[in-house]
Amino acid sequence: MSTLPSLETTLIPGLVVVRLDRRDDSRGFFKENWQRQKMVDIGLPDFGPVQNNVSFNSDRGVTRGIHTEPWDKFVSLATGRIFGAWVDMRQGETFGATFTLEMDTSVAVFVPRGVGNSYQVLEDATAYTYLVNQHWRPGIVYPALSLDDPTVAIDWPIPLSEAIISDKDQHNPTLDPTTAIAPKKALIVGALGQVGRALQADFPGSDLVDIVEGEGVTALDLTDEAAVAALPWHDYAVVLNAAAYTAVDVAETADGRRTSWAANATAPATLARMAREHGATLVHYSSEYVFDGTAEEHTEDEPLSPLGVYAQSKAAGDIAAGTAPRHYVVRTSWVIGEGKNFVRTMASLAANGVSPSVVSDQVGRLTFASELSRATKHLIDTGAPFGVYNVSNAGPVMSWAEIAREVFTRSGRSAADVSETTTAEYAAGVLDKGSPFAPRPLKSGMSMTKIRATGFEPEDALSALDRYLAAD
Protein backbone atom coordinates (compact mmCIF):
# COMPACT_ATOMS: atom_id res chain seq x y z
CA MET A 1 0.00 0.00 0.00
CA SER A 2 1.26 3.46 -0.86
CA THR A 3 2.25 5.75 2.00
CA LEU A 4 2.61 9.49 2.26
CA PRO A 5 5.87 11.05 1.10
CA SER A 6 7.80 13.05 3.70
CA LEU A 7 8.81 16.70 3.58
CA GLU A 8 12.01 18.40 4.77
CA THR A 9 12.45 22.17 4.97
CA THR A 10 15.67 23.98 4.03
CA LEU A 11 17.37 27.28 4.88
CA ILE A 12 15.83 28.80 1.74
CA PRO A 13 12.22 29.74 2.57
CA GLY A 14 9.75 27.73 0.50
CA LEU A 15 12.39 25.36 -0.93
CA VAL A 16 11.54 21.90 0.39
CA VAL A 17 12.83 18.37 -0.16
CA VAL A 18 10.31 15.58 -0.68
CA ARG A 19 11.25 11.98 0.03
CA LEU A 20 9.07 9.91 -2.29
CA ASP A 21 7.60 6.51 -1.60
CA ARG A 22 9.57 4.43 -4.14
CA ARG A 23 8.77 0.71 -4.38
CA ASP A 24 11.62 -1.48 -5.69
CA ASP A 25 11.58 -5.08 -6.89
CA SER A 26 13.51 -7.28 -9.33
CA ARG A 27 11.88 -5.55 -12.30
CA GLY A 28 12.81 -2.02 -11.26
CA PHE A 29 10.79 0.50 -9.27
CA PHE A 30 7.46 2.28 -9.08
CA LYS A 31 6.76 5.65 -7.47
CA GLU A 32 4.03 8.24 -7.39
CA ASN A 33 6.12 11.11 -8.68
CA TRP A 34 3.35 13.66 -8.11
CA GLN A 35 0.11 13.00 -6.29
CA ARG A 36 -1.62 16.29 -5.62
CA GLN A 37 -3.61 15.42 -2.51
CA LYS A 38 -0.73 13.64 -0.82
CA MET A 39 1.64 16.50 -1.56
CA VAL A 40 -0.79 19.07 -0.18
CA ASP A 41 -1.36 16.89 2.89
CA ILE A 42 2.36 16.94 3.78
CA GLY A 43 2.54 20.72 3.41
CA LEU A 44 3.41 21.51 -0.19
CA PRO A 45 1.54 24.47 -1.68
CA ASP A 46 -1.24 23.57 -4.09
CA PHE A 47 0.74 25.26 -6.85
CA GLY A 48 -1.30 24.08 -9.84
CA PRO A 49 1.19 22.67 -12.36
CA VAL A 50 0.26 23.16 -16.02
CA GLN A 51 3.28 21.75 -17.85
CA ASN A 52 5.61 18.75 -17.47
CA ASN A 53 9.12 18.90 -18.98
CA VAL A 54 11.89 16.31 -19.30
CA SER A 55 15.56 17.19 -19.70
CA PHE A 56 17.53 14.10 -20.81
CA ASN A 57 21.27 14.21 -20.16
CA SER A 58 23.39 11.68 -22.05
CA ASP A 59 26.66 12.13 -20.21
CA ARG A 60 27.94 12.37 -16.66
CA GLY A 61 29.24 15.88 -16.02
CA VAL A 62 26.54 17.82 -17.84
CA THR A 63 25.94 20.92 -15.71
CA ARG A 64 22.92 23.13 -16.21
CA GLY A 65 23.19 26.83 -15.35
CA ILE A 66 21.61 28.55 -12.36
CA HIS A 67 18.38 29.87 -13.86
CA THR A 68 15.65 31.78 -12.03
CA GLU A 69 12.48 31.28 -14.03
CA PRO A 70 9.41 33.23 -12.82
CA TRP A 71 7.35 30.22 -11.77
CA ASP A 72 7.28 27.43 -9.21
CA LYS A 73 8.87 24.07 -10.08
CA PHE A 74 8.65 20.54 -8.75
CA VAL A 75 11.81 18.71 -9.83
CA SER A 76 12.56 14.99 -9.72
CA LEU A 77 14.35 12.25 -11.67
CA ALA A 78 13.03 9.47 -13.84
CA THR A 79 16.48 7.85 -14.09
CA GLY A 80 20.00 8.53 -12.83
CA ARG A 81 21.49 10.82 -10.20
CA ILE A 82 22.27 14.53 -9.94
CA PHE A 83 23.84 17.05 -7.62
CA GLY A 84 21.23 19.80 -7.27
CA ALA A 85 22.09 23.38 -6.31
CA TRP A 86 19.69 26.20 -5.51
CA VAL A 87 20.32 29.90 -4.80
CA ASP A 88 17.79 32.34 -3.36
CA MET A 89 17.62 35.22 -5.83
CA ARG A 90 14.69 37.00 -4.16
CA GLN A 91 14.78 40.31 -2.36
CA GLY A 92 15.10 39.85 1.39
CA GLU A 93 17.33 38.57 4.15
CA THR A 94 18.02 35.22 2.48
CA PHE A 95 19.18 36.69 -0.85
CA GLY A 96 22.21 34.63 -1.95
CA ALA A 97 21.49 31.70 0.40
CA THR A 98 22.34 28.32 -1.11
CA PHE A 99 21.22 24.73 -0.69
CA THR A 100 22.71 21.62 -2.31
CA LEU A 101 21.57 18.02 -2.37
CA GLU A 102 22.46 14.80 -4.16
CA MET A 103 19.28 13.37 -5.70
CA ASP A 104 18.23 10.01 -7.06
CA THR A 105 14.82 8.86 -8.25
CA SER A 106 13.47 8.68 -4.68
CA VAL A 107 13.88 12.42 -4.04
CA ALA A 108 12.05 15.51 -5.33
CA VAL A 109 12.43 19.21 -4.60
CA PHE A 110 9.84 21.99 -4.70
CA VAL A 111 11.47 25.20 -5.97
CA PRO A 112 9.49 28.43 -5.39
CA ARG A 113 9.51 31.31 -7.85
CA GLY A 114 12.63 33.42 -7.49
CA VAL A 115 14.98 30.63 -6.41
CA GLY A 116 17.72 29.84 -8.92
CA ASN A 117 17.78 26.19 -9.98
CA SER A 118 20.77 24.21 -11.24
CA TYR A 119 22.12 20.67 -11.33
CA GLN A 120 25.10 18.56 -12.29
CA VAL A 121 24.62 15.06 -13.76
CA LEU A 122 26.37 12.27 -11.82
CA GLU A 123 25.38 9.31 -14.04
CA ASP A 124 25.07 8.82 -17.78
CA ALA A 125 21.52 8.74 -19.17
CA THR A 126 19.93 10.82 -16.43
CA ALA A 127 16.39 12.03 -17.10
CA TYR A 128 15.54 15.17 -15.11
CA THR A 129 11.83 16.01 -14.96
CA TYR A 130 9.98 19.03 -13.67
CA LEU A 131 6.46 20.37 -13.31
CA VAL A 132 5.84 24.11 -13.63
CA ASN A 133 2.76 26.20 -12.92
CA GLN A 134 3.07 28.61 -15.84
CA HIS A 135 3.56 27.97 -19.53
CA TRP A 136 6.81 29.03 -21.09
CA ARG A 137 6.30 32.09 -23.26
CA PRO A 138 8.60 33.74 -25.84
CA GLY A 139 10.53 36.83 -24.85
CA ILE A 140 10.60 36.02 -21.16
CA VAL A 141 13.66 37.36 -19.32
CA TYR A 142 14.89 36.13 -15.96
CA PRO A 143 18.13 36.34 -13.91
CA ALA A 144 20.86 33.74 -14.21
CA LEU A 145 23.95 33.25 -12.07
CA SER A 146 27.48 32.11 -12.83
CA LEU A 147 28.11 28.50 -11.84
CA ASP A 148 31.43 29.49 -10.25
CA ASP A 149 30.16 32.60 -8.48
CA PRO A 150 32.59 33.13 -5.55
CA THR A 151 29.91 34.49 -3.23
CA VAL A 152 27.66 31.45 -3.27
CA ALA A 153 30.69 29.13 -3.70
CA ILE A 154 28.90 25.94 -4.73
CA ASP A 155 31.09 22.89 -4.14
CA TRP A 156 30.43 21.00 -7.40
CA PRO A 157 31.40 17.31 -7.11
CA ILE A 158 32.77 17.36 -10.69
CA PRO A 159 35.08 20.35 -11.20
CA LEU A 160 33.57 22.87 -13.60
CA SER A 161 36.73 22.64 -15.69
CA GLU A 162 35.76 19.03 -16.43
CA ALA A 163 32.03 19.62 -16.76
CA ILE A 164 29.92 19.89 -19.91
CA ILE A 165 28.44 23.41 -19.88
CA SER A 166 26.61 25.35 -22.58
CA ASP A 167 28.27 28.44 -24.00
CA LYS A 168 25.46 30.58 -22.63
CA ASP A 169 25.86 29.24 -19.10
CA GLN A 170 29.60 29.91 -19.21
CA HIS A 171 28.91 33.64 -19.47
CA ASN A 172 26.28 34.21 -16.79
CA PRO A 173 26.85 37.15 -14.39
CA THR A 174 27.89 37.03 -10.74
CA LEU A 175 25.54 37.71 -7.85
CA ASP A 176 24.15 41.24 -7.95
CA PRO A 177 21.66 42.54 -5.35
CA THR A 178 20.26 45.03 -7.89
CA THR A 179 18.85 42.11 -9.88
CA ALA A 180 17.12 40.52 -6.88
CA ILE A 181 13.60 39.42 -7.76
CA ALA A 182 10.82 41.43 -6.18
CA PRO A 183 7.85 39.54 -4.76
CA LYS A 184 4.67 39.45 -6.77
CA LYS A 185 2.34 42.30 -5.93
CA ALA A 186 -1.37 42.84 -5.45
CA LEU A 187 -3.91 44.23 -7.90
CA ILE A 188 -6.58 46.39 -6.27
CA VAL A 189 -9.74 46.56 -8.35
CA GLY A 190 -12.08 49.40 -7.40
CA ALA A 191 -9.16 51.33 -5.90
CA LEU A 192 -11.06 54.63 -5.63
CA GLY A 193 -13.87 53.28 -3.46
CA GLN A 194 -14.00 53.20 0.33
CA VAL A 195 -12.60 49.69 0.60
CA GLY A 196 -10.13 50.17 -2.24
CA ARG A 197 -8.62 53.25 -0.61
CA ALA A 198 -8.22 51.42 2.69
CA LEU A 199 -6.56 48.46 0.97
CA GLN A 200 -3.90 50.73 -0.49
CA ALA A 201 -2.54 51.38 3.02
CA ASP A 202 -2.14 47.67 3.84
CA PHE A 203 -0.96 46.60 0.37
CA PRO A 204 1.58 49.26 -0.69
CA GLY A 205 3.02 49.01 -4.16
CA SER A 206 -0.14 47.47 -5.58
CA ASP A 207 -1.35 48.14 -9.09
CA LEU A 208 -4.54 50.18 -8.90
CA VAL A 209 -7.48 50.09 -11.31
CA ASP A 210 -11.00 51.50 -11.29
CA ILE A 211 -13.68 52.45 -13.76
CA VAL A 212 -12.10 55.93 -14.03
CA GLU A 213 -8.54 57.24 -13.72
CA GLY A 214 -7.29 59.18 -10.74
CA GLU A 215 -4.58 59.34 -8.06
CA GLY A 216 -2.30 56.81 -9.70
CA VAL A 217 -5.26 54.66 -10.69
CA THR A 218 -5.58 53.26 -14.21
CA ALA A 219 -9.00 53.13 -15.83
CA LEU A 220 -10.26 49.61 -16.51
CA ASP A 221 -13.64 48.45 -17.76
CA LEU A 222 -14.17 45.12 -16.02
CA THR A 223 -16.82 44.19 -18.56
CA ASP A 224 -14.16 44.32 -21.30
CA GLU A 225 -12.72 40.80 -21.05
CA ALA A 226 -9.90 41.57 -23.48
CA ALA A 227 -8.80 44.58 -21.42
CA VAL A 228 -8.86 42.52 -18.23
CA ALA A 229 -6.89 39.71 -19.86
CA ALA A 230 -4.27 42.24 -21.04
CA LEU A 231 -3.26 43.09 -17.47
CA PRO A 232 0.21 41.80 -16.42
CA TRP A 233 -1.24 38.82 -14.59
CA HIS A 234 2.15 37.16 -14.12
CA ASP A 235 3.03 40.03 -11.73
CA TYR A 236 0.12 39.42 -9.34
CA ALA A 237 -0.03 37.14 -6.34
CA VAL A 238 -3.29 38.60 -5.04
CA VAL A 239 -6.30 40.25 -6.71
CA LEU A 240 -8.40 42.35 -4.32
CA ASN A 241 -11.79 42.96 -5.90
CA ALA A 242 -13.26 45.94 -4.09
CA ALA A 243 -15.26 47.05 -7.13
CA ALA A 244 -19.04 46.89 -6.87
CA TYR A 245 -22.20 48.60 -8.03
CA THR A 246 -23.85 49.63 -4.75
CA ALA A 247 -26.80 51.80 -5.86
CA VAL A 248 -29.25 49.30 -4.41
CA ASP A 249 -32.37 51.26 -5.34
CA VAL A 250 -31.28 52.23 -8.86
CA ALA A 251 -30.46 48.56 -9.44
CA GLU A 252 -34.23 47.98 -9.50
CA THR A 253 -34.47 49.96 -12.78
CA ALA A 254 -33.85 48.50 -16.24
CA ASP A 255 -30.51 50.24 -16.73
CA GLY A 256 -29.49 49.70 -13.12
CA ARG A 257 -30.24 45.99 -13.34
CA ARG A 258 -27.88 45.55 -16.29
CA THR A 259 -25.13 47.60 -14.66
CA SER A 260 -25.51 45.81 -11.34
CA TRP A 261 -25.23 42.36 -12.90
CA ALA A 262 -22.27 43.38 -15.06
CA ALA A 263 -20.30 44.82 -12.12
CA ASN A 264 -21.33 42.46 -9.33
CA ALA A 265 -21.62 39.12 -11.13
CA THR A 266 -19.97 39.11 -14.56
CA ALA A 267 -16.84 41.01 -13.49
CA PRO A 268 -16.08 38.68 -10.53
CA ALA A 269 -16.48 35.72 -12.90
CA THR A 270 -13.89 37.24 -15.24
CA LEU A 271 -11.48 37.92 -12.36
CA ALA A 272 -11.98 34.40 -11.01
CA ARG A 273 -11.13 32.92 -14.38
CA MET A 274 -7.95 34.99 -14.67
CA ALA A 275 -6.96 34.15 -11.08
CA ARG A 276 -7.49 30.47 -11.83
CA GLU A 277 -5.39 30.61 -15.01
CA HIS A 278 -2.51 32.47 -13.35
CA GLY A 279 -2.51 30.94 -9.89
CA ALA A 280 -3.42 34.16 -8.08
CA THR A 281 -5.44 34.45 -4.89
CA LEU A 282 -8.75 36.27 -5.42
CA VAL A 283 -10.26 38.26 -2.57
CA HIS A 284 -13.84 39.28 -3.34
CA TYR A 285 -15.86 41.56 -1.08
CA SER A 286 -19.48 40.63 -0.62
CA SER A 287 -22.44 41.85 1.40
CA GLU A 288 -24.94 40.67 3.98
CA TYR A 289 -27.52 41.58 1.34
CA VAL A 290 -27.04 38.07 -0.07
CA PHE A 291 -29.32 36.99 2.81
CA ASP A 292 -32.98 37.88 3.32
CA GLY A 293 -32.36 39.14 6.87
CA THR A 294 -34.63 36.67 8.68
CA ALA A 295 -31.86 34.89 10.63
CA GLU A 296 -30.86 36.41 13.96
CA GLU A 297 -27.19 35.98 13.02
CA HIS A 298 -25.84 35.08 9.61
CA THR A 299 -23.18 32.38 9.28
CA GLU A 300 -20.97 31.69 6.30
CA ASP A 301 -22.81 28.51 5.38
CA GLU A 302 -26.32 30.00 5.45
CA PRO A 303 -28.06 29.38 2.12
CA LEU A 304 -28.14 32.43 -0.14
CA SER A 305 -31.52 34.17 -0.14
CA PRO A 306 -31.15 37.60 -1.83
CA LEU A 307 -34.16 39.90 -1.99
CA GLY A 308 -33.54 42.62 -4.59
CA VAL A 309 -31.59 42.97 -7.83
CA TYR A 310 -28.44 44.30 -6.15
CA ALA A 311 -28.59 41.46 -3.64
CA GLN A 312 -29.12 38.87 -6.35
CA SER A 313 -26.18 40.15 -8.38
CA LYS A 314 -23.94 40.08 -5.30
CA ALA A 315 -24.99 36.49 -4.55
CA ALA A 316 -24.11 35.53 -8.12
CA GLY A 317 -20.74 37.24 -7.67
CA ASP A 318 -20.05 35.15 -4.57
CA ILE A 319 -20.67 31.97 -6.54
CA ALA A 320 -18.47 33.18 -9.40
CA ALA A 321 -15.60 34.17 -7.10
CA GLY A 322 -15.75 30.74 -5.50
CA THR A 323 -14.68 29.14 -8.78
CA ALA A 324 -11.14 30.45 -8.25
CA PRO A 325 -9.20 27.67 -6.49
CA ARG A 326 -7.48 30.22 -4.22
CA HIS A 327 -10.23 32.55 -3.04
CA TYR A 328 -11.54 34.45 -0.06
CA VAL A 329 -15.10 35.74 -0.24
CA VAL A 330 -15.26 38.36 2.52
CA ARG A 331 -18.85 39.19 3.46
CA THR A 332 -19.30 42.47 5.25
CA SER A 333 -21.96 45.01 6.24
CA TRP A 334 -22.52 48.74 6.55
CA VAL A 335 -19.10 49.88 5.29
CA ILE A 336 -17.65 53.19 6.48
CA GLY A 337 -14.50 54.61 4.92
CA GLU A 338 -13.11 57.53 2.98
CA GLY A 339 -15.88 59.14 0.98
CA LYS A 340 -19.65 59.56 1.30
CA ASN A 341 -21.22 57.24 3.86
CA PHE A 342 -23.87 57.08 6.60
CA VAL A 343 -21.62 58.27 9.44
CA ARG A 344 -20.43 61.31 7.53
CA THR A 345 -23.99 62.12 6.49
CA MET A 346 -25.17 62.01 10.12
CA ALA A 347 -22.19 64.08 11.29
CA SER A 348 -23.00 66.68 8.64
CA LEU A 349 -26.66 66.81 9.67
CA ALA A 350 -25.64 67.19 13.30
CA ALA A 351 -23.29 70.04 12.44
CA ASN A 352 -25.96 71.82 10.39
CA GLY A 353 -28.69 71.65 13.01
CA VAL A 354 -30.81 69.08 11.17
CA SER A 355 -32.84 66.55 13.19
CA PRO A 356 -33.30 63.47 10.97
CA SER A 357 -35.71 60.58 11.12
CA VAL A 358 -33.73 57.32 10.80
CA VAL A 359 -34.79 53.72 10.26
CA SER A 360 -34.92 51.77 13.51
CA ASP A 361 -35.95 48.25 12.41
CA GLN A 362 -32.80 47.40 10.43
CA VAL A 363 -30.03 46.14 12.72
CA GLY A 364 -26.43 45.22 12.05
CA ARG A 365 -22.85 46.28 12.72
CA LEU A 366 -20.69 48.95 11.14
CA THR A 367 -17.61 47.80 9.25
CA PHE A 368 -14.87 50.38 8.95
CA ALA A 369 -12.97 49.96 5.71
CA SER A 370 -9.66 49.98 7.56
CA GLU A 371 -10.86 47.02 9.65
CA LEU A 372 -11.93 45.16 6.52
CA SER A 373 -8.49 45.76 5.02
CA ARG A 374 -6.79 44.60 8.23
CA ALA A 375 -8.81 41.39 8.15
CA THR A 376 -7.89 40.83 4.52
CA LYS A 377 -4.19 41.18 5.23
CA HIS A 378 -4.55 38.82 8.17
CA LEU A 379 -6.20 36.13 6.03
CA ILE A 380 -3.48 36.35 3.39
CA ASP A 381 -0.49 36.67 5.72
CA THR A 382 -1.57 33.77 7.94
CA GLY A 383 -2.48 31.52 5.01
CA ALA A 384 -5.97 30.99 6.43
CA PRO A 385 -7.98 28.27 4.67
CA PHE A 386 -9.63 29.55 1.53
CA GLY A 387 -13.38 30.11 1.57
CA VAL A 388 -16.03 32.52 2.83
CA TYR A 389 -15.50 34.73 5.91
CA ASN A 390 -17.81 37.20 7.64
CA VAL A 391 -16.06 40.42 8.67
CA SER A 392 -17.39 43.48 10.48
CA ASN A 393 -16.43 45.46 13.53
CA ALA A 394 -17.37 43.91 16.85
CA GLY A 395 -19.91 44.86 19.51
CA PRO A 396 -23.68 44.49 19.80
CA VAL A 397 -25.90 44.81 16.74
CA MET A 398 -27.41 48.28 16.50
CA SER A 399 -30.09 49.91 14.39
CA TRP A 400 -29.33 52.72 11.99
CA ALA A 401 -31.19 55.05 14.37
CA GLU A 402 -29.00 53.96 17.30
CA ILE A 403 -25.85 54.54 15.27
CA ALA A 404 -27.13 57.98 14.22
CA ARG A 405 -27.64 58.86 17.89
CA GLU A 406 -24.08 57.75 18.68
CA VAL A 407 -22.81 60.07 15.96
CA PHE A 408 -25.01 62.94 17.20
CA THR A 409 -23.86 62.68 20.81
CA ARG A 410 -20.23 62.60 19.69
CA SER A 411 -20.94 65.71 17.61
CA GLY A 412 -22.32 67.66 20.55
CA ARG A 413 -25.99 67.13 19.76
CA SER A 414 -28.66 65.37 21.79
CA ALA A 415 -29.57 61.78 20.98
CA ALA A 416 -33.21 62.94 21.20
CA ASP A 417 -32.63 64.97 18.04
CA VAL A 418 -32.77 61.70 16.08
CA SER A 419 -36.29 60.36 15.64
CA GLU A 420 -37.27 56.93 14.40
CA THR A 421 -39.06 55.57 11.37
CA THR A 422 -39.59 52.09 9.94
CA THR A 423 -38.30 50.62 6.73
CA ALA A 424 -41.87 50.38 5.42
CA GLU A 425 -42.57 54.03 6.19
CA TYR A 426 -39.29 55.13 4.62
CA ALA A 427 -39.97 53.00 1.51
CA ALA A 428 -43.46 54.46 1.13
CA GLY A 429 -42.01 57.96 1.07
CA VAL A 430 -39.49 57.04 -1.59
CA LEU A 431 -42.05 55.25 -3.75
CA ASP A 432 -44.51 58.14 -3.44
CA LYS A 433 -41.91 60.31 -5.14
CA GLY A 434 -41.75 57.88 -8.05
CA SER A 435 -38.28 56.64 -7.15
CA PRO A 436 -37.31 52.96 -7.01
CA PHE A 437 -36.80 51.23 -3.68
CA ALA A 438 -35.05 47.91 -3.11
CA PRO A 439 -36.01 45.54 -0.29
CA ARG A 440 -33.55 45.51 2.60
CA PRO A 441 -32.61 42.66 4.96
CA LEU A 442 -33.82 43.74 8.42
CA LYS A 443 -31.26 41.68 10.33
CA SER A 444 -27.70 42.11 9.12
CA GLY A 445 -25.71 40.86 12.11
CA MET A 446 -23.11 38.27 11.13
CA SER A 447 -21.30 35.63 13.16
CA MET A 448 -17.52 36.11 13.19
CA THR A 449 -16.67 32.82 14.85
CA LYS A 450 -14.92 31.59 11.71
CA ILE A 451 -12.51 34.49 11.27
CA ARG A 452 -11.87 34.64 15.01
CA ALA A 453 -10.75 31.02 14.79
CA THR A 454 -7.92 32.18 12.50
CA GLY A 455 -6.61 34.51 15.23
CA PHE A 456 -8.26 37.74 14.09
CA GLU A 457 -10.10 39.78 16.72
CA PRO A 458 -12.34 42.56 15.33
CA GLU A 459 -12.22 45.97 16.96
CA ASP A 460 -15.34 47.26 18.72
CA ALA A 461 -17.44 49.36 16.36
CA LEU A 462 -17.92 52.29 18.75
CA SER A 463 -14.20 52.51 19.48
CA ALA A 464 -13.58 52.65 15.75
CA LEU A 465 -16.34 55.25 15.42
CA ASP A 466 -14.64 57.48 18.00
CA ARG A 467 -11.37 57.39 16.07
CA TYR A 468 -13.08 57.90 12.73
CA LEU A 469 -14.95 61.01 13.87
CA ALA A 470 -11.89 62.42 15.60
CA ALA A 471 -9.86 62.10 12.38
CA ASP A 472 -12.56 63.49 10.11
Q: Which DSSP string corresponds to 319-336? A: HHHTTSSSEEEEEE-SEE
In the three-class reduction of DSSP (H, G, I as helix; E, B as strand; rest coil), residue 13 is classed as coil
In the three-class reduction of DSSP (H, G, I as helix; E, B as strand; rest coil), residue 167 is classed as coil
The Cα 189–Cα 187 span in angstroms is: 6
Active site residues: 67, 130
CB 175 within 8 A of CB 219: no
* Complete edge-to-edge strand list for the sheet that includes strand 144-145: 98-103, 82-88, 115-121, 63-67, 144-145
Q: Compute the half-sphere exposure of residue 39: CA atoms within 13 Å on the CB side of its CA.
A: 19
Strand partners, 189: 209, 241
The Cα 129–Cα 372 span in angstroms is: 43
The Cα 40–Cα 419 span in angstroms is: 57
- Cα separations (Å) of 327 from 113, 271, 280, 321, 339? 20, 11, 9, 7, 27
Dihedral (CA of 42, 46, 48, 54) sign? negative
Strand partners, 9: 16
- At 459, give phi and psi (nearest 5°): -80, 145
CB 441 within 8 A of CB 307: yes
Strand partners, 77: 128
- The H or E element containing residue 26 is none
The Cα 471–Cα 451 span in angstroms is: 28
